Amino acid sequence: MEKENQVTKENFTESMDAQFALPSKDWTQYAPLTLAYIGDAAYELVVRSIFVKRHDIQPQKLHQKVTRCVSARAQANMMEVLLPELTVQEAAVYRRGRNSKPYTKAKNATLGEYLVATGFEAVMGYLYLEGAFERMNELIEKGLAALKVM
């Protein structure tokens, strides 16, 4: 019975695609800032889920913990460790994101950190849209370990 309630990579994405009549696409062809847009949300949702499931604390304290992981500076620091781990395709998506021309800038990070973080978010967005959740979680786990927040 419990197995029926578990959402797998296949049935989560297939369910969403079917419910909303979403087409399959080549996500490598999407604009890097579009990938970063969805990647920012997907990454933050994973981090929030981790902290909520590990800590039964006030939302304000959860927010403080999560913020340390999702800032541009934290994402840039994570990329130092993750860059050698990326596949050829992931590295190409990262470079496109890092080399993009964002219309905004980070409040508490340098332009260089912000661009590296944009590359990181583009990779997260690409993996999310591909339905490569195991790979996404693997990279997030290594990145969070590098931040020493877990």
Tokens of 1: 């019975």
1 in helix, strand or coil? coil
Q: Mind telling me the catalytic residues?
A: 40
The answer to whether residues 149 and 65 touch, using CB atoms and an 8 Å cutoff, is: yes
Two tokens, residue 44: 């933050």
> What token pair was written down for 13?
């994405």
Rounded CA-CA distance 100/147 in Å is: 25
